[in-house]
Amino acid sequence: MSKQEQHWEKTRGLLFMTLAIWFVFSIGIFLFGAEMNEVGGPFGYPLTYWFTCQGSLGIFVILIFWFANRQEKIDEEFGFSERGDD
Amino acid sequence: MIKGNFIDNLPKVYGIYTGGFLAFIIIMSIAEQMGMTAKTIGICFVAFTVAIYAIIGYLSRTAQADAYYVAGRQVPTVFNGMATAADWMSGASFVAMAGGIYFKGYGYMALLVGWTGGYVLVASLLAPYLRKFGCYTVPDFIGTRYGGNLSRFMAVVVLTVASFTYVTAQINATGTIASVALDIPFQYAVYVGLISILLCSMLGGMRGVTWTQVAQYIVLIIAYLLPVFWISNKMGAGFFPHFMLADEVARIGELEQQYGFVKNAAADLKTVPKGLAGITKAHSAVNATPWAFISLALAMMMGTASLPHVMMRYFTTPSVKAARKSVGWSLFFIFLLYSSAPMLATLSKLSLIDPSLPTGIIGKSIAEVQAIDWYQNWNQANLMFVSDFNGNGTLELNEFFMGGKAVVLATPEIAGLPYVISGLVAAGGMAAAMSTADGLILAIANAISHDVYYKIIDPKAETAKRLVVARVLLVVIGFAGATIAALEIQGILGSVIWAFDFAMSGLFFPLVLGVWWKRANKEGAIAGMALGLISGAAYLVWVRTGGSGFLGITQLTFGIFGSAVSLVAMVVVSLMTQAPNAATQKMVDNVRVPAGKSVI
């Protein structure tokens, strides 16, 4: 397998992982919205309510930065990252 | 004061700007103490901020294609994040979102999840690859990746349909705010709004829009957060509302139980002015089926990843790496406002319905409520209404009606904040609507000038001529949008959601598969765009004209149907026709690697 193919395989792996986490917090948990809302969440809000107004949103922010860092590492590993700028 | 390169000095420039704006707020509040009228304060806020944007727009003028189309590709990540957040958060997010949460609760909050979750798709599926591609516009990517004028043209069509639906709503919003703040009729205010919008974008194109959007973000976020924190503190609800409103949310639940949601008779409801609504849904309880929630969130997420005015913001970063990080910053800046909207809705609702609070009106006598100053003001503005349906002389929960905009616009006044805050909120709403309108008009004008005029009609045109065409189109599209906005066909929020559905119907899969599926070819992309857009639009018309729909897909989520058709059409047609040639395959390989020259 060429360097480029390996790089793409890792990139795709990271994509699937990112999308899996995204799926859980944008779709998965809301399948059980009614049940989850009976449980107390952070800061005392009902759990589903908390996810819709802060939890999922905040997780998406962290997820994107995490993804960006992981992808940078993959690019560096194969010597495909850009030089010089940021 | 400022030496050297503008880009290196950005933190300083915007630091001074923010300080200046805060000073302006303080000066205004002193002026209010000294007797300046509410109307003058409103005019000062809107006029002052718009003048600043116009100056930035003028200073950013350019005669270079690179600067006009992609701001010279040198916008640092954090600043591009702010610009994207302003680009993204429209008049609807600013003025209508808290109101939507106030009235509809959980079912509506799918929009919060959808309008943020979409950025994960932007960051992981598209933005870095399109940045590497080096295109000027989104149709530029489609046209080059798939080849041929038809695919390019189809992408322009989808972009125009989606963005134009969206932009009329934004011009409408600038008109509404300008008409209230400047006290002029709406039909004229729309054009005042339009001219303000064009001042930012005409001379500098993307460069001008970028630097005004950063300035607009600063205004709109201050204008949103300051009242939320102030009201929360004033009500004694907690000094950091986001972490401290659990008791208030629970208290609203108790009061809802106590009052019950009484259903009004149809005849009674007829007497309520149009556009006003009562509280009929639980505040924090789950009041929608999982599919209703998920389908709306999903449609908004895929729509986010297909809207060209957002995508093109990531063409302006200096590198692929920066494009990825910049998506994260964008969402962070959006998060600041979106996570505050539910808090504002909570504070607003509790302050109105809790009889133990001095501002609470439920349970008071109707005559007493009608004598309150702020009630009279907002009743006159056609945003509040009470009526004694059951004739007991006391105001019940089901007898109080409010417009969605009132949550943002009226809550500061109800809570007893000085008028300077209302002026600030008007400036914030104006900034939100203007920045989005600018991004959208520019996206349409750039696509037509670059992809239709330069790439299809006259590939030999010189830069100067191309930029003239781009600017003329900007004005034409702006006026077309304003003319339609002046007709006031449809509410602000409805048309915003449609724009997402149109965009995802036609563009989501052609964009994503262009990067992630090498086998995707021209014929497939054309079929995907055309059939996706047509079937999505047909579904919308069908449901609007009384069709029952299927699978619970409504007029707000028709993009799910459109994009499904688009995906199937694209895969089937691609596989039935020839694989893309070696040069195209190589192009895709090249896009997938950050290092090296851009593709175009």
Q: 3-class secondary structure for B487-504?
A: HCCCCHHHHHHHHHHHHH
> Looking at chain B from residue 440 to 479, which residues have their Cβ under 8 Å from any Cβ of chain A?
none
Contacts of B231-237 with CB under 8 Å at 24 or more apart are B231/B344, B231/B347, B231/B351, B231/B411, B231/B412, B231/B415, B231/B417, B232/B343, B232/B347, B234/B415, B234/B416, B234/B417, B235/B347, B235/B350, B235/B351, B235/B357, B235/B415, B237/B347, B237/B350
Task: Pick A49's closest partner by Cβ from B247, B284, B328.
Answer: B284
| A31/B77 CB distance under 8 A | no
Domain ranges of chain A: 24-80
The pLDDT tens digits for B341-360 are: 999 999 999 998 888 888 88
Q: For residues A85 and B77, what is the distance between their CA atoms, to the nearest angstrom?
A: 11
Task: Pick B117's closest partner by Cβ from A32, A45, A60.
Answer: A60
For chain B, say whether A64 makes contact (Cβ under 8 Å).
yes
| Residue B537 to residues B109, B148, B540, Cα–Cα distance (Å) | 25, 25, 5
Q: Is the C-alpha dihedral spanning B291, B294, B297, B298 positive or negative?
A: negative
The pLDDT tens digits for B514-545 are: 999 999 999 999 999 999 999 999 999 998 88
List CB contacts (< 8 A) between A64 and chain B.
Answer: 119-120, 123, 324, 327-328, 331
Pairing of strands B276-277, B400-403: antiparallel
Q: For residues B52 and B196, what is the distance between their CA atoms, to the nearest angstrom?
A: 11
Residue B129's contacts (CB-CB under 8 Å, 6 or more residues apart) are: B515, B591, B592
Q: For residues B544 and B556, what is the distance between their CA atoms, to the nearest angstrom?
A: 11
How many C-beta atoms lie closer than 10 Å to residue A2's C-beta? 8
The H or E element containing residue B591 is helix B582-591
In the sheet that B276-277 helps form, which strands lie side by side, from edge to edge? B276-277, B400-403, B384-386
Q: For residues B280 and B397, what is the distance between their CA atoms, to the nearest angstrom?
A: 9
Residue holding tokens 């599209």?
A: B477
| B298/A27 CB distance under 8 A | yes
Residue B358's contacts (CB-CB under 8 Å, 6 or more residues apart) are: none
For chain A, say whether B586 makes contact (Cβ under 8 Å).
no
Phi-psi region of B61 (alpha: psi -120 to 50; beta: other; left: phi over 0): beta
CA distance B241 to chain A (A): 11
| A86/B112 CB distance under 8 A | no
Residue B597: closest C-alpha in chain A? A82
Give pLDDT, residue B388: 86
Query: Residue B502: which of B170, B162, B163, B165 has the closest Cα?
Result: B162
Domain ranges of chain B: 7-50+61-263+275-349+417-482+494-591, 350-414
Give pLDDT, residue B262: 84
Start-to-end Cα distance in chain B = 40
ipTM over 0.90: yes
> Looking at chain B from residue 208 to 267, which residues have their Cβ under 8 Å from any Cβ of chain A?
242-247, 249-250
The pLDDT tens digits for B251-308 are: 888 888 888 888 888 888 888 888 888 888 888 888 888 999 999 999 999 999 999 9
> Looking at chain A from residue 3 to 42, which residues have their Cβ under 8 Å from any Cβ of chain B?
4, 7-8, 11, 14-15, 18-19, 22, 25-27, 30-34, 37
Whether the predicted model's global pTM rises above the 0.95 cut: no
CA distance A70 to chain B (A): 11
| A7/B285 CB distance under 8 A | no
Give pLDDT, residue B17: 92
CA distance B161 to chain A (A): 27
Task: Pick A82's closest partner by Cβ from B124, B244, B595.
Answer: B595
Q: What CATH number belongs to B7-50+61-263+275-349+417-482+494-591?
A: 1.20.1730.10
Angle at B65 between CA B75 and CA B192, to 5 degrees: 80
Give pLDDT, residue A86: 44
Helix (H, G, I), strand (E, B) or coil at B276: strand
Beta pairing partners, B276: B403
CB B452 within 8 A of CB B153: yes
Residue A82, both tokens: 């850009």
As a whole number, mean pLDDT of residues B104-115 equals: 93
The pLDDT tens digits for B151-197 are: 999 999 999 989 988 888 888 888 878 887 777 888 888 888 888 88
Test mutation, A6, A61, A83, chain B, max B CBs within 10 A: A61
List CB contacts (< 8 A) between B242 and chain A.
Answer: 43, 54
Residue numbers of chain A with a pLDDT score lower than 50: 85-86
CA distance A58 to chain B (A): 7
List CB contacts (< 8 A) between A4 and chain B.
Answer: 589, 592-593
Residue B134, both tokens: 């080096």
Residue B363's contacts (CB-CB under 8 Å, 6 or more residues apart) are: B355, B394, B395
CB B403 within 8 A of CB B276: yes
List CB contacts (< 8 A) between A31 and chain B.
Answer: 290, 294
For chain A, say whether B593 makes contact (Cβ under 8 Å).
yes
On the 0-12 / 13-18 / 19+ scale of CB atoms within 10 A, B371 is exposed
Query: Residue B101: which of B404, B402, B411 has the closest Cα?
Result: B404
Please state, for a pLDDT cut of 70, what percent of chain B lies above it.
98
For chain B, say whether A83 makes contact (Cβ under 8 Å).
yes
**pLDDT greater than 60 at residue B2:** no
Test mutation, B88, B106, B512, B515, chain A, max A CBs within 10 A: B106
**pLDDT greater than 80 at residue B233:** yes
CA atoms within 13 A on the CB side of B131: 32
On the 0-12 / 13-18 / 19+ scale of CB atoms within 10 A, B528 is buried
How many C-beta atoms lie closer than 10 Å to residue B193's C-beta? 30
Give pLDDT, residue B1: 45
Q: For residues B359 and B349, what is the distance between their CA atoms, to the nearest angstrom?
A: 11
